[in-house]
Amino acid sequence: MRLAPSLFRRFPSAAPRPGWRRASNRRRAVGAVAAGCVLALAAQLGLGLAIRAEVSPLRDPVYFDKFALLRTHPAFFPGPAPAADRPTTLLLVGSSRTLNAVNARRAGDDLTRRLGRPVEVFNFGQAGAGPVTNAVYLRRATQAGVKPDFVLVEVHPVFLAGQRPDPPETRWLLPFRLRPDELPVVRGMGFPAADPSAHGPRGLLAPITEYRFLILDRYFPFLLMDNKRLNGGHEPDAHGFARLQDVSTPPQRAGLMRIAQGQYADYFAGFRPTGCGVDALRDTLRQCRALGARAALVLMPERGGWEAWYDAEGLRQLDAVVAGLAAEFGVPAFDGRKWVTEDETMDGHHLTGPGADRFTDVLARDALAPWIGGPR
């Protein structure tokens, strides 16, 4: 019931006191702040749990996005009783060199024509992925049901460098991108990976802080400086291939070559292929053997003077390392370092669109068809 103002004048004690109003407002403010804190904590905890359960892809979005693409190719998930008409499957694992060099759809069509049976190819190459990342990603994929018939494994020489205590892959494979059970695996390969705070209570109670870069990278990339995304801006097609521009002019190429040389300069001097990347390659080949998948190694193009950047003795040792792994596991090794010209590259090791087309054709004709079509 609303009391008339005249009632308050007649009975002053019935009117609300200013102090009572202030106390009531204070209680409402405190309640609102407390409710906001509870909601914020619940939101943080919910996000942290979603990341740990991998309902959210924020732990390692480049992997989960690529795996989601692979999911659209059921031939790679044959189950315990593969269909009789299932295509032969080939999975490519590697760095951005593979990502930008092998047009998987084109390779699959070419191999299907050459071999007279369906062949499906998927490019699982990732920007910044070296041998350790590839070993981790193959393990994740196979645990999720992926079972390819053939696996082509890239050998990226720089990522094998062992003359420094910090492997080059530490610049990209940050520990928070790994699952807790993957840390001892990569450490066993010799990769230095400390326990990240994101795996502890902070990952549950403050995931927005712990995964702030990945949140920006995935949902607000326009806020990143120079739009430098984790995947390098390499957006793949339905078969995992990311095509670069069709033309690279000499001035553009010279500038990008300087960037590429500077990116790896610390690992060219005194280069020795003795690092944890060698053990990671061995781990990947072991996985393929256990899976019953036939594996092969491939060296991707390096043109425009790349070979002069390495220590010459290290390059000689590289040939011996690759040959030794091939002999140890009974797998072929394809040397594609000179299969394209410098003009068909962006920076000596990432291919232009036409360069990728030609590399794909040579790879399919001279390496993949004889390998896949040959005797087991």
Question: pLDDT confidence of 12, banded at 50, 70, 90?
Answer: low
* Residues 285 and 326: beta-carbon distance below 8 Å: no
Question: pLDDT confidence of 352, banded at 50, 70, 90?
Answer: very high
Helices and strands counted in the chain (H then E): 16, 5
Phi (first) and psi of residue 152, to 5 degrees: -100, 120
Strands of the sheet with 294-299, listed across from one edge? 119-123, 88-93, 150-155, 294-299, 333-335
* Residues 14 and 8: beta-carbon distance below 8 Å: yes
- Mapped onto helix, strand or coil, the DSSP state of residue 121 is strand
Cα Rg of the chain, angstroms: 28
What mean pLDDT, rounded, does the chain reach?
89
Interval 86-92 mean pLDDT: 97
More confident residue, 206 or 339: 339
Please list the residues that pair with 151 across neighbouring strands.
91, 295
33, burial (CB in 10 Å: exposed 0-12, middle 13-18, buried 19+): exposed
CB atoms within 10 A of CB 97: 23
The secondary structure of 314-330, three-state, reads HHHHHHHHHHHHHHHHC
Structure-token pair, residue 300: 């991707």
Cβ-defined contacts of 48-52 (< 8 Å, 24+):
48/203, 48/204, 48/205, 48/206, 48/207, 49/204, 51/203, 51/207, 51/211, 52/203, 52/204
Q: Kindly tell me if the per-residue pLDDT of 282 is higher than 60.
A: yes
- Give residue 297's pLDDT: 98
Interval 290-314 mean pLDDT: 95
User: 242-268 pLDDT, tens per residue?
Assistant: 999 999 999 999 999 999 999 999 999
- Give residue 254's pLDDT: 94
- Give residue 1's pLDDT: 47
All domains of the chain, ordered by start, with CATH?
A: 60-193+233-373 (3.40.50.1110)
Helix, strand, coil abundance in the chain, percent, nearest 5: 60, 5, 35
User: 305-351 pLDDT, tens per residue?
Assistant: 898 999 999 999 999 999 999 999 999 999 999 999 999 999 999 99
More confident residue, 307 or 16: 307
- The mean-pLDDT minimum among 21-30, 109-118, 122-131 falls in 21-30
DSSP state of 147: -
Q: Is the dihedral of CA 145, 146, 149, 153 positive or negative?
A: negative
- Mapped onto helix, strand or coil, the DSSP state of residue 7 is helix
CB atoms within 10 A of CB 145: 11
Interval 20-29 mean pLDDT: 76
pTM above 0.95, yes or no: no
- Give residue 216's pLDDT: 78
Closest residue by Cα to residue 170 from 149, 188, 191, 187: 191
User: 136-171 pLDDT, tens per residue?
Assistant: 999 999 999 999 999 999 999 999 999 999 999 999
